[in-house]
Amino acid sequence: MLTEVLTALDEGNFQQAEKLLATLPPDDPRVLLCRGQLHLKIERLEAAESDFRQLLRLNCGSKLTQMARRGLEKIEQIRQQQRQQAILATHAVVGVEQQGVLVLEGVTAPEQRTILARLFATMFKIDPYTARLLIPSRGWRLIRTGNFAELAVYCQELKQQGFTLFCVPFEALTATPVLQVRYFAALEPQPRVVCTSSLSPEPVELTFTWSQVSQRVEGLLPIFEQVFDRDRQGKITRKEQIQDHAQCCDLHLFQQNQILRFYRGGYQFHQGIPLNQVAAVIQSDLDLDQNTSWVKWRQLSSLWQQHCGDRPVWQDFTSFAETALDFTELLSKIPPHINLFRREDSLWDAAFMLYSSLAFHRARSGSNR
């Protein structure tokens, strides 16, 4: 019967080969090989890959193993050709020069992580161990920067495999105006804030409504200081340590295409409306010094909790930034729109801008981009 199957395959009679294979034991290694070859010829690539990999797991001798590996190599060659065709088609739409970023969302299932690592290894031509390290168990991870057309094709292919990714052109990461809020001038009848921006250092007033806030992004930016310490030999050394954190919160206004940025160190608590008179009382803060910026920030943050606490909140900035900091060239091109008192500039500020911009674009454009 297998001879008849092979004859049908050689003659291109694929329907006959499929009928014959359906009558044979499906777990027979030779049947698996023939079925994989049939699927490969009619370009059912996922089914062919499944058959060849199942055959490899059975470890049925060097000849069958070698033929299964050749089948997998042929599948990858076909996929590479398909990718190149898709990239060329995307170039015609978005241009050849446009750059972008590819972001992966967390993958918790071990079997899914194994599949994705294998796909990464072949797509990006990296070793399997490095590919596994790219996969987050939660939150987002920036896994690739480069030509936007290529990244968009990778993104679409991985989505078809059931993974959640999104791809954003670099221009979109810097296109949304960011207004740095200095203080609330009023809350009634509508919120009115005094802001500055990188385009205009002169304060301007902006009126908005709480219903216009689509989502918010929160994060902690570390403040580094040089400190002195003694090693085991008693020698004094100088090193950089985190001494404090600056709280940040972005309110995203999709309809206005704006980001309102609040951050401790930039908000002028001594101006505008008294926060302790309009914010909800936090019981745990009653015994604390009400004049500290930390308590005043809590009062400020309670305002958007009161008025837009039902909107989505993105709060995994720290885990995202810890890996995004490796992309120094990308971060160096992103204006941070944060003016913290630092002895030296920190890429953490640009990383927060990147995280907020990604959240803005993902939610506004939808995750199917």
Q: Give the pLDDT confidence score for residue 14 in this predicted structure.
A: 85
Q: Are 47 and 120 found together in one domain?
A: no
Tokens of 80: 């590479």
Q: What is the pLDDT of residue 243?
A: 72
Reading the chain (369 residues) residue by residue, the pLDDT tens digits are 778 877 888 888 888 888 888 888 878 888 888 888 888 888 888 888 888 888 888 888 888 889 998 999 898 888 888 888 887 888 777 777 889 999 999 999 998 999 899 889 988 889 989 999 999 999 999 999 999 999 999 999 899 888 999 999 999 999 999 999 999 999 988 999 999 987 777 899 999 999 999 999 999 998 877 666 666 776 777 666 667 788 999 999 999 999 999 998 889 999 999 887 766 555 445 444 456 777 888 889 889 888 998 999 999 999 999 999 999 999 999 999 998 877 778 899 999 999 999 999 999 876 444
Q: Report the pLDDT value the prediction gives residue 182, as an integer from 0 to 100.
A: 95
**C-alpha distances in angstroms, 119 versus 114, 125, 279?**
9, 10, 50
Is residue 101 in some structural domain? yes
Domain holding 160, by residue range, is: 95-173
Does one domain contain both 208 and 269? Answer: yes
**Rg of the chain in Å (alpha carbons):** 28
Task: Report the b/e string of 334-369 with b at 16+ CB within 10 A.
Answer: bebbbebebeeebbbbbbbbbbbbbbbbbbeeeeeb
Q: Verify that 101 and 221 share a domain, yes or no.
A: no
Question: Do 66 and 162 lie in a common domain?
Answer: no
Q: Are residues 53 and 105 in the same domain?
A: no
Count of the separate structural domains present in the chain = 3
**What confidence score (pLDDT) does residue 21 get?**
81
Structural domain includes residue 89: no
Residue among 287, 267, 268, 269 at smallest CA distance from 277: 269
Measured CA to CA in angstroms, residue 104 lies from 9, 151, 246, 320 at distances of 40, 12, 27, 10
133 and 258 housed in the same domain:
no
> Is residue 87 assigned to a domain?
no
> Could you say which of 173, 194, 224 is where a domain stops?
173
| DSSP-assigned beta bridge partners for residue 354 | none
User: Looking at the domain assignment, is residue 257 inside a domain?
Assistant: yes
Last residue of a domain, one of 37, 52, 78: 78
Tell me, yes or no, if the pTM score tops 0.85. Answer: no
51/258 Cα distance (integer angstroms): 51
Are 115 and 257 found together in one domain?
no
Identify the H or E element spanning 166: strand 165-169
Which one of 78, 111, 132 terminates a domain?
78
Q: Do 15 and 38 reside in the same domain of the chain?
A: yes
Q: Is residue 205 domain-shared with residue 257, that is, in the same domain? A: yes
> Could you tell me if residue 313 is inside a domain?
yes
pLDDT of residue 369: 41
**Both tokens assigned to 147:** 């030509």
Q: What is the model's pLDDT at position 286?
A: 45
Is 51 in the same domain as 115? Answer: no
Is 275 among the domain residues? yes
The domain spanning residue 71 has which CATH number? 1.25.40.10
- Residues 203 and 290 placed together within one structural domain of the fold: yes
115 and 220 part of one domain:
no
Is 51 part of a structural domain of the chain?
A: yes
CA nearest neighbour of 88 among 180, 10, 37, 153? 153
